């Protein structure tokens, strides 16, 4: 790890180019990543009716 930091300190132009390259690859990856606003899903519904004896119904 120290060797990498030492090399970057000795070669600032190369370090900046590597940084820009990594940022550009990240931006390109973010643009090409598939995006979905709403995922595909199905809604299952269950209806339950319970009658109460002596209840008032309209």
Predicted pLDDT of residue 19: 94
Contact 27, 20 (CB under 8 A): no
40 assigned to some structural domain:
no
56 assigned to some structural domain:
no
pTM of the predicted model as reported, rounded to 2 decimal places:
0.53
Structural domain boundaries enclosing 20? 2-27
49 assigned to some structural domain:
no
Predicted pLDDT of residue 48: 87
Higher-pLDDT residue of 1 and 46 is: 46
pLDDT value at 18 more than 80:
yes
11 assigned to some structural domain:
yes
Predicted pLDDT of residue 27: 95
Closest to 18 (Cα-Cα) out of 28, 9, 8, 27: 8
Kindly report the average pLDDT of the chain as a whole number: 87
22 assigned to some structural domain:
yes
Name the phi and psi angles at 23, rounded to 5: -65, -40
What's the domain count of the chain?
Answer: 1
Q: Which two tokens stand for residue 51?
A: 């009658």
């Amino acid at each position: 790890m120290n060797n990498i930091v030492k090399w970057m300190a000795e070669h600032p132009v190369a370090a900046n180019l590597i940084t820009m390259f990594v940022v550009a690859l990240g931006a390109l990856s973010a643009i090409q990543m598939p995006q979905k606003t709403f995922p595909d899903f199905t809604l299952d519904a269950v209806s339950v009716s319970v009658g109460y004896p002596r209840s008032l119904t309209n």
